[in-house]
Chain A
């Protein structure tokens, strides 16, 4: 199993550009989520999905869109990039059971918006 994969690893954008961060998992996990991590900070939840076709907002959803058309993929779209979105983005997945299960994180995408 490859686990959780993210592409690209690094990306530089200009203000106003749009792009999609890709996330895929091969563990058949129902739950997937996106976090951002700013320097010296913990992770903040952007959006999450409890299954294909179902998404919901986390703590910091503004400026980001998500969709979940398949169990495996959970892309994150930046509609119009802003310098405040410069951050490291992590995708995670986990199973659906009766306790908060182990989340498996991808390697991250380091995004810089100029």
Chain B
């Protein structure tokens, strides 16, 4: 199983860009990289997924270098409502390969 490592916590201010990096040194050829967001007392919510290079949607961007041993979730101009835990997952189609680590607690201050 590909193990992921991400910072335990990060602090930011409203309006700033936030980049959360996830390390996954033993990522397999078939693995995708997926990020989820979780607010207190709620289930996780899908943010973005990618395999290589760059993926962008209306919420975030995901940067994946050529070696795919890490990835960076970029949140543009964060607001207070972006305060949440962000999880990086690496795996293929099987449920048994998807593991939620402890995630990164992002705190956005005014």
Residues of A near any B CB (own CB < 8 A): 4, 31, 33, 35, 40-45, 48, 50, 56, 58-59, 90, 92, 97-100, 102-108
Q: What separation, in Å, do the CA atoms of A4 and B46 have in the docked complex?
A: 14
Say yes or no: A42 contacts B92, CB within 8 Å: no
Shortest distance in angstroms between B54's beta carbon and chain A's nearest beta carbon?
17
Shortest distance in angstroms between A30's beta carbon and chain B's nearest beta carbon?
11
Q: What separation, in Å, do the CA atoms of A103 and B34 have in the docked complex?
A: 10
Say yes or no: B95 contacts A58, CB within 8 Å: yes
Say yes or no: A100 contacts B32, CB within 8 Å: yes
Say yes or no: B43 contacts A90, CB within 8 Å: yes
Tally of contact residues, B, Cβ under 8 A: 24
Say yes or no: B96 contacts A100, CB within 8 Å: no
Given contacts A33-B95, A45-B95, A58-B95, contact A103 B100 (CB under 8 A): no
Residues of B near any A CB (own CB < 8 A): 32, 34, 36, 41-46, 49, 51, 87, 89, 91-93, 95-96, 98-103
Q: What separation, in Å, do the CA atoms of A40 and B103 have in the docked complex?
A: 9
Say yes or no: B102 contacts A41, CB within 8 Å: yes
Shortest distance in angstroms between B32's beta carbon and chain A's nearest beta carbon?
5
Say yes or no: A108 contacts B102, CB within 8 Å: no
Q: Which 5 A-B residue pairings sit nearest by Cβ, starting from the closest?
A: A105-B43, A42-B100, A102-B46, A43-B100, A48-B95
Say yes or no: A45 contacts B98, CB within 8 Å: yes
Q: What separation, in Å, do the CA atoms of A43 and B32 have in the docked complex?
A: 18
Say yes or no: B98 contacts A92, CB within 8 Å: no
Q: What separation, in Å, do the CA atoms of A98 and B30 have in the docked complex?
A: 10
